[in-house]
């Protein structure tokens, strides 16, 4: 592997600023790496090499003029559910296979303003519904650590691209775990920020009260750099919090002496918890303790057991409303062969959407329908409030909570495709965090059977800096994040 594609963003920054390497050289190294390993990994839906080289040349001019920003000239990938002006944005769905947005998502615009380089768009489960990237309408992505296994999902493309050295970092979206679970399964850092910290404008909506964009990176410092670049108020998203983006890198002091860490018991009894995964997390907690953190083993969040059920009412309900727009008229796929307008609408949705997307739309439409609304949707909203208040209670006396990110390591392709419930259980540890709108980060903390294990660090609302600080301190004391899969 070329040494340039195994750098971190902060290392590449130093080389770029010292003119030891140009952004064009760096970008070319990534394009070559993609050529080499992409046939095996399949992390990209669309590659944009010409655009990347054009952006790299512009970045080199900006660096020469002395106004480089932290991401100027840095080659990145973007998950394919974020709008990119003039570049196809498919959501890995037949419905949007030929959709080219006329505008950039706010996050894409902000990366562009820093002069970042876009290599292409990352594969995903269709409309971000899934935990393995096998629901992509085009092809599954493979886990760089074992090509017979899934990378997780729905942001499997972004996680695999970063793990395989096919991008320095990527952006994903997380509605129930879609950044943290694939980050864990691929052995990279992934963060879902506090709800409202990052603008959702231009993110193709799945479940708007849960969706949040966040970074995938090779280490915590890069994750902080990426988050600082994309966070901050945006008047085009009504749920965007009215505050500027902090410099998250300045939070990385390396010092967590006295940090109050809670370990919620329910996350260790979770259904299907693998004992080797659990052991890796317990070892990681011992390291945090060695760094001076105070560990409280007696935290309980009893309503955690309802979180999965609440999610599978709320997320499908919101999705059934959000996906009503795909009617074959406004944009996207359209089936004109059917005859009447209603028949065309039906045929468009029948052929444009895959199985899982249709399952979610039906579940959601059912729970929102008259007569069932109170029993399902309204009840789920009430339980959501209880889950949120249990977290608030825990954060009165704790700075962060630590849990496994996923109950298992990467599973084999095809293992869970015939049983949706087994697939859904992959997110038991991440879903409660979305329900409560909290920041959560997954970082590498060991291996089980040769496959990466991720530790989840959860913070209170707007405690993103504390989460990053804890993760960074752990990372400094360990070397899991420096390992690479064997792909050549």
Q: Known catalytic residues? A: 79, 154, 178
Strand partners, 169: 76, 217
Buried/exposed 220-236: b ≥16 CB within 10 Å, e otherwise = bbbbbbbbbbbbbebee
| Rounded distance between C-alpha atoms, residue 2 and residue 225, angstroms | 23
355-368 vs 307-322: helix axis angle to the nearest 10?
Answer: 100
User: Can residue 177 be called a binding residue for ligand GLN (CB under 6 A)?
Assistant: yes
Among residues 22, 178, 194, 199, the one that binds ligand GLN under rule CB under 6 A: 178
Q: Which of residues 308-367 bind ligand GLN (CB under 6 A)?
A: 315
- Smallest separation, CB 315 to ligand GLN (Å): 6
The reply to whether 264 sits near ligand GLN by the rule CB under 6 A is no
Adjacency order of strands within the sheet including 400-404: 44-47, 117-122, 75-79, 169-174, 212-217, 189-192, 440-448, 451-458, 400-404, 260-264, 294-299
Q: Could you check whether the bond before residue 249 is cis, i.e. omega within 30 degrees of 0?
A: no
- Residue with Cβ nearer ligand GLN (175 or 405): 175
CB of 426 to ligand GLN, least distance (A): 7
- Taking the least distance from each CB to ligand GLN, the nearer of 56 and 213 is 213
Distance CA 485, CA 188 (A): 11
Q: Which C-beta is closer to ligand GLN: that of 112 or that of 420?
A: 420
> Counting contacts by CB under 6 A, is residue 36 touching ligand GLN?
no
Residue closer to ligand GLN (CB basis): 272 or 292: 272
Q: How far is the CB of 397 from ligand GLN (least distance, A)?
A: 29
Residue 174 in contact with ligand GLN, rule: CB under 6 A: yes
Alpha-carbon span 78 to 453, nearest angstrom: 24
Question: Quick check: 129 binds ligand GLN (CB under 6 A)?
Answer: yes
Please identify, among the stretches 113-121, 174-182, 365-373, 446-454, the one whose residues bind ligand GLN according to the rule CB under 6 A: 174-182
Cβ proximity to ligand GLN: between 311 and 474 the closer is 311
In the complex, the smallest distance separating the C-beta of residue 411 from ligand GLN, rounded to whole angstroms, is 13
* 113 Cβ contact partners less than 8 Å away, ≥ 6 residues apart: 69
Among 8, 133, 141, 175, binds ligand GLN (CB under 6 A): 175
Q: Alpha-carbon distance 82 to 476, whole Å?
A: 32
Closer CB to ligand GLN, 422 or 476, in the complex: 422
User: Under a CB-based contact definition with an 8 Å cutoff, are residues 51 and 88 in contact?
Assistant: no
Alpha-helical runs (H) found in 156-251 = 156-163, 180-186, 220-230
Q: Which region, judged by CB under 6 A, interacts with ligand GLN, from 37-45, 175-183, 262-270, 411-419?
A: 175-183
Binding site for ligand GLN (CB under 6 A): 128-131, 154, 174-178, 206, 315, 427
């Amino acid at each position: 592997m070329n040494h340039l594609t195994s750098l971190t963003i902060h290392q590449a920054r130093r080389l770029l600023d010292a003119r030891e390497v140009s952004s064009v050289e760096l970008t070319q190294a990534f394009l070559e790496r993609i050529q080499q390993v992409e046939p095996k990994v399949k992390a990209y839906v669309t590659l944009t090499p010409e655009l990347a080289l054009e952006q790299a040349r512009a970045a080199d001019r900006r660096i020469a003029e002395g106004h480089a920003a932290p991401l100027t000239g840095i080659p990145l990938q973007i998950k394919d559910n974020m709008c990119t002006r003039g570049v196809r944005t498919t959501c890995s769905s037949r419905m949007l296979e030929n959709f080219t947005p006329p505008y950039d998502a706010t996050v894409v615009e902000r990366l562009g303003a820093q002069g970042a380089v876009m290599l292409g768009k990352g594969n995903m489960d269709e409309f971000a519904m899934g935990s393995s990237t096998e629901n992509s309408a085009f092809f599954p992505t493979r886990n760089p650590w074992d090509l017979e296994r899934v990378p997780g999902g729905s942001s499997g493309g972004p996680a695999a691209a970063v793990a395989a050295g096919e991008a320095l970092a990527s952006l994903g979206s997380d509605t129930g775990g879609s950044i943290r679970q694939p980050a864990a399964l691929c052995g990279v850092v992934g963060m879902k920020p506090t709800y409202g910290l990052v603008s959702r404008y231009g993110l193709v909506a799945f479940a708007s009260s849960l969706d949040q964009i966040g970074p995938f990176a090779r280490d915590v410092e890069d994750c902080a750099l990426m988050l600082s670049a994309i966070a901050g108020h945006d008047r085009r998203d009504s749920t965007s919090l009215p505050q500027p983006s902090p410099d998250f890198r300045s939070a990385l002091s390396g010092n967590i002496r006295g940090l109050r860490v809670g370990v919620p018991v329910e996350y260790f009894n979770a259904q299907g918890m693998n004992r080797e995964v659990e052991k890796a997390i317990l070892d990681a907690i011992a390291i945090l303790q060695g760094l001076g953190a105070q560990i409280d083993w007696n935290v309980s969040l009893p309503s955690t057991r309802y979180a999965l059920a609440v999610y599978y009412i709320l997320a499908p309900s919101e999705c059934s409303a959000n996906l009503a727009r795909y009617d074959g008229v406004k944009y996207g796929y359209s089936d004109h062969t059917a005859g009447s307008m209603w028949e065309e609408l039906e045929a468009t949705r029948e052929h444009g959407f895959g199985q899982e997307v249709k399952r979610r739309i039906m579940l959601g439409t059912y729970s929102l329908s008259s007569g069932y609304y109170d029993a399902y949707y309204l009840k789920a909203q009430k339980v959501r409030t209880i889950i949120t208040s249990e977290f608030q209670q825990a954060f009165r006396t704790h700075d962060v909570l630590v849990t496994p990110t996923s109950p298992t390591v990467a599973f084999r392709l095809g293992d869970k495709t015939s049983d949706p419930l087994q697939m859904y259980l992959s997110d038991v540890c991440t879903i409660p965090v979305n329900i409560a709108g909290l920041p959560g980060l997954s970082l590498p903390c060991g291996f089980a059977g040769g496959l990466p294990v991720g530790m989840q660090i959860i913070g209170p609302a707007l405690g993103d800096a504390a989460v990053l600080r804890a993760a960074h301190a752990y990372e400094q004391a360990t070397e899991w994040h420096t390992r690479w899969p064997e792909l050549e």
